[in-house]
Structure 1
């Protein structure tokens, strides 16, 4: 069976984990956490990066820093992972879902402004498959309406919009280092902070509401409880695992792009018949090979293709069930405007195996089976 995902592994992970153990520092904010954070800051240009225990927790931190509270409204797409909404629902806010663009599967920037009310606090663009949302338009809307922009860049590390790193364009950005992502620490994430004024509060929220970070820098003689907060620090063991991959980030990225391009080259003939659609990447976006998907005619055809591929030892999977149609989405959120594309396009989308280490011959085999299903030679 060709698996859908295999967590990335470069070979240095175990050495770095052993080094963390030998350093006798396996809790958060040790040598490897610092190295990972500095790497991300340098790569993205963000003012500050804080590693977290997940992208979910990074988004929760962003919600705290944005002072999101009961009754606030947060505009986002419905085609996203539950954490995008959860982080704000936990603060008592209302997710306001708007439709997506059928080409990129990202939030339709032309529908955002109509969804703004006096209760709107922030816009949360989700960069699906590592392809940037229309950030110029979104940032302009946010400036004119005095709203915050919190980027869900869970899939966006090493991807760019008009030369700007995804996650480092808005006020806050959130990365994921889950085992399904391009670079992994098993479970983990990062919060990117654009404005220096937010850094101290972020450190306090992340460190259980204390100024422990300042204590370890020698800025205070003892740390105290300063505010509410929680424990969002990942273990040094996780950070050590991640750093081995960040050191090889360019090589991993190049390999994923090679796989992505091979899929596209092998399937573009079939796409030319109109039987499937391939991913669209605007010229001004640089994607990161996070995902390769195709779109079938409808949900029934997709299910048949999944079964066919499984019979041929290939695990291919669909993606999100739109949040507005889920029980919690109906309870906590609302959809603004018409759902023209969110449900329809989500029911057509099928993700093919994609991971660092996927062989050229495997990609050819998978592509060949997709073409065989459609009777295309």
Structure 2
């Protein structure tokens, strides 16, 4: 029986051609031909004000923390059920993280809790669009307006996903995307910062270019460039951008296939959801589904462990996901002690099923049959 991996990176067929073109151009460092092509494609398709490719989504988040002016003593509100990079970007600037619990219906941050967490020291709210499904953004936008806070979207999983018709990553002042090999659109490692607040775009480019006005120099806007702000080497190689551009060109085809697989999972596993054996992903009316992930929520930790082990015995690699950041060895001593029961529930019960472009419908059916078998 052929094993089914959790993930398999997909190539569209043009990646090596574009990498060769980048190499032959004579410039393979950052901000080359393919970087500019990626920037333009993403701006044009999603109407972002400005886009900057980065070496990772982690880098994009770290840029966002710098642009937000986060410093020691500031507080940043975000979910506990997220990857460590969401928090680490702001901890590196000296911030204190104030964690919000997840929703009962989705692993996303419960936006109804956020207002009570705002203090005089709060500087930013960082919603995470888990599985590419939007958080309820309108209440967060209103809170940001009322309290003069920056709204920064962690859209790592959310390319081509929408909230009430608006593209995720384009709603907050800043947004961060991932192109890690486990995402819908990949470049191995890679990310992108979106700048939707025009007043931040000039500084974003400087932070991106190691704190220099080098890009302005190359455009002929200044006669020399120098060190004008803090920053770092956030640019990816143009080889990475070349790979990414081949992926972005095929975004619609990639998304169509992933949605086909996602819907096959939902149809095959619907009876278990109806029987309340497991909980299937919920997509609220205000959100679209970009088919980044198909997950199940089991009833308890032992059940999830048993399900993963059962699938493994059938040659199927399924995985659990985040551990609660407020309980992590590093940050637990800094947490304010509030219980976050829904976050802990997802940490104990959520299991991710294989979902990648080359997964076949027959393999989805085999995975679903194995899950039905586990539940008897």
Structure-2-length-normalised TM-score = 0.98
CA distance in 2, matches of 1:357, 1:42: 28
| Stretches of structure 2 lacking an aligned partner (at least 5 in a row) | none
Equivalent residue, structure 1, for 2:50: 48
CA distance in 2, matches of 1:342, 1:290: 20
Equivalent residue, structure 2, for 1:66: 68
CA distance in 2, matches of 1:264, 1:7: 23
Equivalent residue, structure 2, for 1:28: 30
CA distance in 1, matches of 2:125, 2:341: 20
CA distance in 1, matches of 2:135, 2:240: 30
CA distance in 2, matches of 1:288, 1:318: 20
CA RMSD in angstroms, aligned pairs only: 0.9
Match of 2:117 among 95, 115, 118: 115
Match of 2:236 among 234, 252, 268: 234
CA distance in 1, matches of 2:264, 2:219: 48
CA distance in 1, matches of 2:62, 2:16: 30
User: Offset of 1:333 from its aligned partner?
Assistant: 4.2
SS of corresponding position for 2:320: coil
SS of corresponding position for 2:330: helix
Provide runs of 4+ in structure 1 moved above 2 Å: 331-335
User: Offset of 1:270 from its aligned partner?
Assistant: 1.5
User: Offset of 1:196 from its aligned partner?
Assistant: 1.7
Match of 2:317 among 307, 315, 318: 315
SS of corresponding position for 2:363: helix
Is residue 366 from structure 1 mapped to residue 334 from structure 2 by the alignment?
no
SS of corresponding position for 2:341: coil
Equivalent residue, structure 1, for 2:267: 265
CA distance in 2, matches of 1:303, 1:229: 43
The aligned length equals 374
Match of 1:174 among 173, 176, 189: 176
CA distance in 2, matches of 1:39, 1:329: 39
* Cα shift readout 1:17-62 (whole Å, capped 9, x = no counterpart): 0000011110001111011111111222111000001100100101
CA distance in 2, matches of 1:294, 1:346: 12
CA distance in 2, matches of 1:274, 1:227: 55
Equivalent residue, structure 2, for 1:194: 196
> Is the Cα–Cα contact under 8 Å of residues 184 and 292 in structure 2 kept in the other structure?
yes
Structure-1-length-normalised TM-score = 0.98
Structure 2 vs 1, CA of residues 183 and 164 (structure 1 numbering), >3 Å: closer, same or farther?
Answer: same
| Stretches of structure 1 lacking an aligned partner (at least 5 in a row) | none
* Cα shift readout 1:300-334 (whole Å, capped 9, x = no counterpart): 11111111100100000000001000011214444
CA distance in 2, matches of 1:164, 1:97: 26
Bigger shift: residues 38-47 or 55-64: 38-47
SS of corresponding position for 1:158: coil
Is residue 357 from structure 1 mapped to residue 369 from structure 2 by the alignment?
no
Equivalent residue, structure 1, for 2:342: 341
Equivalent residue, structure 1, for 2:247: 245
